[in-house]
Amino acid sequence: MTAVTVAPPSPNLALNQLVDRRRAEGASLVHLAFGEARLPVLPQLAAQLAAGATRSAYGPVAGAESVRRAVAGYFSRRRLPTEPDRVMVAPGSKPLLMALQLVVPGDLLLPRPAWNSYAPQARYAGKKVFGVPVPAECGGVPAPDALRETLHRARAAGADPRLLVLTLPDNPTGTVAPPALIRDLCALARAEDLLILSDEIYRDIVHDPDTTPYLSPAEVAPERTVVTSGLSKTLGLGGWRIGVARFPAGDTGTRLRDATVAAASEIWSTLAGPMQQVAEYAYAEPPEVTARMRASARLHGAVARAVHRTAVEAGADCRPPTGGFYVYPDLGLLRDRLAARGITDSASLAARLLDDSGLVVLAGHLLGDDPQGLRFKAATSLLYGDEEQQYEALGADDPTRLPHIAAELTRIAEGLARLTGAA
């Protein structure tokens, strides 16, 4: 029999299996590993899903004209003038990211750390992956000087980096890159002829838009930026798998869009008809949708800031979260104290948090970070409780004072204190 070589299991799958085993054994866990938005479904969206149930015929792979027009309007209202023929919809943003990895030649440049599906997708597409450290002030983007150095070193070694992924706001650090940094990176991308893939699925979860300016690279380098987004984070529709992409105008954008549609066609990847009905309604942004997005951003911000305070009080260095629902603590300042307790890297750090305190986090090395670092990602949106509690949290003036959220925050504080020997 011919030997078959298969890829190793994904970190997501392995961690989920571990969590399932621990729960089956009766363990009480605070799950902070993955970025599910944990919001109740808006009744109006559920009604649209039901209304679209009869849309059972095959449709255009890129999506019906009506839904693409709604998505184009969404982008246009965000300073990105867009025509419907520049838009594609799909069953989630991740298949779009995978398709772009397949159709764009050359290797991949990633911020380090970065969400852990980017690199495996690139490797499935036959690309080399080059991680570039993020700057001190934010994640989601590489530090420009480090990017330039990585580019030149990779090319000297015979690699061909052509695609740069940015995440705005960032998963895993929960931060938003400032406009000046975006401009510098866009200038570098032009000088080095890089295509930018801007994953903006968290764009509508900037906690305080009045104090956190947002600049998409598609505003600065529109000719070389593809934007992806979706409804899983802003409206909590992760299980419905609704993703969108915006391609540049001009010949480059046309070639990219056509190639991406062709790849999707070959694997029969198109957004289901009922979901297109939902997307058309949601991207038109009626009042209840915009109100839900504002309420969710307030909730995400309040709880993320509370977890950030807890981490800092425990001795972590941690960037203040300004978007999304993540924090990324670094316990490097406590390295000697942790080493005395057998905690010397991100894997042992995450394992100790789970074993001693039932805190499930995603270790930094699983996100491309230095394995010797003492960093992890915590997804704060998983603290909102069941559906009834989620509604309560969305309407609360201070959701961190709700008993169910306060209890989880207390467990996190106790777990970090136990980790560092303060408890």
pLDDT at 4: 59
CA distance 366 to 113: 9
Predicted confidence at residue 39, as pLDDT, reads: 96
pLDDT of residue 15: 76
Burial of 20 (0-12, 13-18, 19+ CB in 10 A): exposed
> So what's the pLDDT on residue 147?
98
What are the DSSP calls for 106-153, one per residue? SEEEEEES--TTHHHHHHHTT--EEEEEPPSS-SSS--HHHHHHHHHH
- pLDDT number for residue 397: 96
Return the percent helix, strand and coil in the chain, to nearest 5.
Answer: 50, 15, 35
For residue 423, the model assigns a pLDDT of 65
pLDDT computed for residue 416 by the predictor? 97
Cα–Cα distance, 301 to 290 (Å, whole number): 17
How many angstroms separate the CA atoms of 245 and 397, rounded? 35
- The pLDDT, as a whole number, for residue 135 is 98
Residue 18: predicted pLDDT: 75
Give the pTM: 0.95
* Residue partners of 118: CB distance under 8 A and separation at least 6: 97, 108, 110, 129, 165
What confidence score (pLDDT) does residue 17 get? 79
d(CA 96, CA 242): 11
* Tens of pLDDT, residue by residue, the chain (423 residues): 566 555 666 666 777 777 778 777 877 899 999 889 999 999 999 999 999 999 999 989 999 999 999 999 999 999 999 999 999 999 999 999 999 999 999 999 999 999 999 999 999 999 999 999 999 999 999 999 999 999 999 999 999 999 999 999 999 999 999 999 999 999 999 999 999 999 999 999 999 999 999 999 999 999 999 999 999 999 999 999 999 999 999 999 999 999 999 999 998 889 999 999 999 999 999 999 999 999 999 999 999 999 999 999 999 999 999 999 999 999 999 999 999 999 999 999 999 999 999 999 999 999 999 999 999 999 999 999 999 999 999 999 999 999 999 999 999 999 999 998 876
Cβ proximity of 246 and 80 under 8 Å? yes
Count of beta carbons in the 10 Å neighbourhood of residue 242: 25
Report residue 198: phi and psi, to 5°: -100, 110
